[in-house]
Amino acid sequence: MIRTESLDPDKIREGLSTRHIGSQVVVFDSTSSTNDRAAEYGRNPDNHGLALFAEQQEAGRGRAGHRWLSPPGAGILCSIVLIDSPLRSELLSLTAAVALAEAIGGGARIKWPNDVLLNGKKVSGILLDAPVCDTHRIHCLGIGINCHQGRDDFPESLRDSATSLDIETGLSVDRVMLARRLLASIDRWLATAARNEGAVVQAWRQSSLQLAHRVSLCYNGEHFTGNCIGVDPERGLILHLDRGGVRMFDAAHSSIVKE
């Protein structure tokens, strides 16, 4: 693994001062999980848009109870605090995926609900938490991007399905610039989603790996297969089922499985 730069909050914030997302940036050398930190900061409603980064997580979490592993300094490990978002979770998740794919660029594709893949391998993932709070609504938008990992940095079981930006580009990605691009992209797409959710769906359709393909997914423990015909910003992935009929599957209860 090549480590070229450390995450400097002032450098990340350069040019972002007029935006909501990333108006405050905190970088931890090490923390349990940035999503857990974001849940704590979210108790203060003034912390909307706060972006928390870590060089290392001791208990990084992924979707469906998985762990998110990243060697120190190798990735972007970020959580953004959102207070009283006007977007429901499904649209928030979709919007975050679109923003993330845009920030990564280079032909990044979205594997529903919100994995981002390069050349068919996962380079990034999103974990959206909504911790309970009596006074206001909190969302913790957690994003992990593999940057400087080499193939050997991934556990053997993931080597065929996971990748990093350095592996895919043959270059050493500048994490500070990527972090800044990520926050700007999220800021822009959240604003777009609030006034025109159709624009988010349209962007998703352009980057989706599933659209017009056969999809098998597990929904609340039940298995469904069909052709993906779109995504609904409120109700999730739309499948034309092999067994007949059209059905929607929300991200919180579904995971795509191999046929």
Binding site for ligand BTN (CB under 6 A): 33-35, 57, 60-63, 66, 68, 77-79, 115, 125-127, 142-144
Q: Which is nearer to ligand BTN, 201 or 251 (CB)?
A: 251
Asked if omega into 113 is within 30° of 0 (cis), the reply is yes
Q: Which two tokens stand for residue 31?
A: 């923390």
Q: Which residue is nearest to ligand BTN (CB)?
A: 125
Q: Which two tokens stand for residue 254?
A: 């579904």
Pairing status of strand 121-129 against strand 115-118: antiparallel
Q: Which is nearer to ligand BTN, 48 or 61 (CB)?
A: 61
In terms of Cα–Cα distance, which of 203, 201, 205, 221 is closest to 213?
Answer: 205
Q: Which is nearer to ligand BTN, 57 or 185 (CB)?
A: 57
10 and 24 in contact (C-beta within 8 Å)?
Answer: no
Smallest distance, Å, CB 52 to ligand BTN? 9
SS3 content of the chain, % helix, strand, coil (to 5): 30, 30, 40
Smallest distance, Å, CB 217 to ligand BTN? 15
Smallest distance, Å, CB 242 to ligand BTN? 27
Q: Which is nearer to ligand BTN, 100 or 226 (CB)?
A: 100
Q: Which is nearer to ligand BTN, 130 or 199 (CB)?
A: 130
The total of other beta-carbon atoms located within 10 Å of residue 178's CB is: 20
Smallest distance, Å, CB 120 to ligand BTN? 16
Helix axes 175-195, 197-207, angle to 10 degrees: 130
Smallest distance, Å, CB 33 to ligand BTN? 3
